[in-house]
Amino acid sequence: MPKTFQVLILNTISKRGLARLPASYVVGSDVVQPDAILVRSANLREMDIPASVLAIGRAGAGTNNIPVKKLSERGVPVFNAPGANANAVKELVIAGMLMGARNLIPAIRFVETLTGSDEEMHKATEAGKKAFAGSELPGRTLGVIGLGAIGSLVADAAIKLGMNVIGFDPAITVEAAWRLPARVKKANSVEEVVKAADFITLHVPLLDATRNLINAERIAMMQPGTVLLNFAREGIVDNAAALAGLQSGQLHAYLNDFPANALQRQPGVVCLPHLGASTGEAEENCAVMVAEQVTDYLENGNILNAVNFPNVNMPRESAYRVAIANANVPNMLGQISTAMANAGLNIHNMVNKSRGDMAYTLVDVDSSVPDSVVEELCAISGVLAVRYLPTA
Ligand SMILES: NC(=O)C1=CN([C@@H]2O[C@H](COP(=O)(O)OP(=O)(O)OC[C@H]3O[C@@H](n4cnc5c(N)ncnc54)[C@H](O)[C@@H]3O)[C@@H](O)[C@H]2O)C=CC1
Ligand SMILES: O=C(O)CCC(=O)C(=O)O
């Protein structure tokens, strides 16, 4: 009989992604005892996450809306969709650079004020347009802070538009480094980037270390007339400092995805309604990716793209599988295999991986696992969660 898991859906998750969940699952926004939650930007930090929850799927990149540390303590993986919306954000950043360089938003606002006959409007257009004359991108320098999935695509697109690019990322992954064009100049600090660039774009997660990454001190180091783009997260730019920078002329424009009271109707500010990932393609990519990852976890215990667990995949060769999340401390494997051996269980296959403080073990055995063994495993000090996943 196919298994039934219950999946709580928060936010609008693409139908194509939801269709990847097996038909036997109960899926909806009113599920009360969910085995998994699929979410986009809803704030799970303010929610009592039910004890029934085994996995969270974030249909997107950032997980700052999810209490990852607390969930790790419960042995619950938080999956995301790395790179699945990167192209959508990249395109919006390019649009943002063009909006900033060509003064498109103030120009549109100006046109909206025009009244009178067509002839009067034409006259006012020709008289007024000089206020919105802009500059072109080739030969200008783009500074990219954070060269992950999005930052590396933005850097590549900017090079193709004829720009110079300088980037900073102290923890760039090997895959992202491979994606970077050789022409991207590697900076050794945020300061080196902000001093060199005409346009600065941010593609880092919101962390304690990145809060107010762009502050008054760094804005003062910028070239006068810099265009600042924040399509990463609210909080990475100090809004008050950005407004002061616009007033002093250090900043020419501040384009971002995060409306706030202080930014409303401020000259030089363009706020979009968190649109970075809002394309049909990105929504579908993200939803498909997390739905597949969460399903494989619920059914087989395999882990791909959890932000708090190692990737672990073991093809199923036995019908009897136990999945154990545990603290990454000595002698866990010894205790796990002893509990199984004492119950006469023969281990067919086993994989154990760790990431930081978290370790995860999949054990396939040759015969059915009694409840007493699962209870014994749960009682081992340092074990956070145990799941028995038989297919028979
Ligand atoms: N506006 C929107 O709708 C969207 C916003 N985002 C935001 O963009 C962020 C980045 O997304 P991805 O590129 O997909 O993530 P990613 O994980 O692929 O890349 C982030 C990069 O930032 C780097 N980084 C971390 N701290 C840094 C620091 N202090 N200085 C410089 N680099 C640092 C990391 O090493 C990593 O390479 C997400 O965390 C999310 O907050 C992502 C998607 C859509
Ligand atoms: O789901 C969304 O629209 C938000 C996307 C986002 O901010 C992210 O993926 O980090």
Three-state DSSP string of the chain: CCCCCEEEECCCCCHHHHCCCCCCCEEECCCCCCCEEEECCCCHHHCCCCCCCCEEEECCCCCCCCCHHHHHHCCCCEECCCCCCHHHHHHHHHHHHHHHHCCHHHHHHHHHHCCCCHHHHHHHHHHHHHHHCCCCCCCCEEEEECCCHHHHHHHHHHHHCCCEEEEECCCCCHHHHHHCCCCCEECCCHHHHHHHCCEEEECCCCCHHHCCCECHHHHHHCCCCEEEEECCCCCCECHHHHHHHHHHCCEEEEEECCCCHHHCCCCCEEECCCCCCCCHHHHHHHHHHHHHHHHHHHHHCCECCECCCCCECCCCCCCEEEEEEEECCCCHHHHHHHHHHHCCCCEEEEEEEEECCEEEEEEEECCCCCHHHHHHHHHCCCEEEEEECCCC
> What's the gap in Å between 276 CA and the centre of ligand 2?
7
Of the options 3.40.47.10, 3.30.870.10, 3.30.70.260, 3.40.50.300, the CATH number for the domain spanning 311-392: 3.30.70.260
CATH number of 1-85+277-309: 3.40.50.720
Identical fold for domains 86-101+133-271 and 311-392, yes or no, is: no
Give me the pLDDT at residue 1, please. Answer: 64
What ipTM does this complex have?
Answer: 0.99
Query: Of all atoms in ligand 2, which is nearest to the CA of residue 80?
Result: 9
What is the residue with the minimal CA distance to atom 1 of ligand 2? 40
Instruction: Tally the C-alpha atoms within 13 A of residue 390's C-alpha that lie toward its C-beta.
Output: 11
Looking at all shown ligands, the one closest to residue 256's CA atom is 1
Give me the pLDDT at residue 287, please. Answer: 98
> What's the gap in Å between 148 CA and the centre of ligand 1?
6
Give me the pLDDT at residue 392, please. Answer: 80
Looking at all shown ligands, the one closest to residue 13's CA atom is 2
Q: Are 169 and 151 in contact (CB under 8 A)?
A: yes
Contact partners, residue 347, CB within 8 Å, separation at least 6: 337, 340, 363, 364, 365
Give me the pLDDT at residue 103, please. Answer: 98
Query: Of all atoms in ligand 1, which is nearest to the CA of residue 150?
Result: 13
What is the residue with the minimal CA distance to atom 6 of ligand 1? 232
- Our answer on whether the CB atom of 62 is closer than 6 Å to any ligand 2 atom is yes
CB environment 18-46: b (16+ within 10 A), e (fewer): bebbeeebebeeebeebbbbbbbeeebee
- Our answer on whether the CB atom of 40 is closer than 6 Å to any ligand 2 atom is yes
Q: Where are the domains of the chain?
A: 1-85+277-309, 86-101+133-271, 311-392
Query: Of all atoms in ligand 2, which is nearest to the CA of residue 283?
Result: 1
Query: Exposure of 319 by Cβ count < 10 A (0-12 exposed, 13-18 middle, 19+ buried)?
Result: middle
Instruction: Tally the C-alpha atoms within 13 A of residue 59's C-alpha that lie toward its C-beta.
Output: 30
Question: What string of pLDDT tens digits covers the 392 residues of the chain?
Answer: 667 999 999 999 999 999 999 999 999 999 999 999 999 999 999 999 999 999 999 999 999 999 999 999 999 999 999 999 999 999 999 999 999 999 999 999 999 999 999 999 999 999 999 999 999 999 999 999 999 999 999 999 999 999 999 999 999 999 899 989 999 999 999 999 999 999 999 999 999 999 999 999 999 999 999 999 999 999 999 999 999 999 999 999 999 999 999 999 999 999 999 999 999 999 999 999 999 999 999 999 999 999 999 999 999 999 999 999 999 999 999 999 999 999 999 999 999 999 999 999 999 999 999 999 999 999 999 999 999 999 98
| Site to substitute for ligand 2 among 38, 79, 85, 153, most atoms within 8 A of C-beta | 85
Q: Which CATH class is domain 86-101+133-271?
A: alpha beta
